Amino acid sequence: MTLDERILEKLADWRPDSIRQAFTLDDKPSGWRVHITADTVEKLGVRLSSLEVRRLRVLESIASLPQQAQQLASNITGLLEPLKVVEIDEERGIAQLRSVHPSRSGEESHYYEILRHADGSTFLHRYRVGIGRREAVEFCLTHEALAKLIRDIVR
């Protein structure tokens, strides 16, 4: 069974009993840990606060951070907006990706942001930006779209 198949199986049974529940899956066969923080989980979809994907073990050989960032931007196709690499901080070992064209609604815009660390750890959030403020907001994905997103991240 693949990582995304395991995610789909776990999501089918997961029903948080309070606001903002966390779900972690350590998938030894693939070597990845997936941590999902959700406000709502329903039969077909999830209202996410954040998604974290980390390696369970350190790899001896891993692509350079710029390569990882470009690969993520190319691989991830299931979000509302495509992603682009915004910044690569080689010294800190972090790449920042954001939506190419944030969604706009009046004076506000919404965008996805991914922080990719050199070790492969990946953190996804969605933000709302208005005049003088930025705040993290929830975002919705179907179970299938979430499983595909995770597959795209670990590819």
Q: How far is CA 19 from the centre of its chain?
A: 20
Residue 60 is predicted with a pLDDT of 64
Q: Mean pLDDT, consecutive 10-residue segments, the chain of 155 residues? A: 92 77 92 94 92 88 86 96 96 96 93 96 96 93 96 94
| pTM check: above 0.85 | yes
Range of the domain at 113: 3-154
Q: 108: alpha, beta or left, given left = phi > 0 and alpha = psi -120 to 50?
A: beta
Contact 130, 108 (CB under 8 A): yes
Residue 137 tokens read as 């907001």
Give the integer Cα–Cα distance in Å for 3 and 33: 10
Torsion angle of the four alpha carbons 11, 144, 64, 122, in this order, in degrees rounded to the nearest 10: -40
Q: 11: alpha, beta or left, given left = phi > 0 and alpha = psi -120 to 50?
A: alpha
Residue 105 neighbours by CB distance under 10 Å: 9
SS3 content of the chain, % helix, strand, coil (to 5): 20, 45, 30
Residue 127 is predicted with a pLDDT of 98
Structural domain count of the chain? 1
The helix or strand, by DSSP H or E, that contains position 74, with its residue range, turns out to be helix 65-75
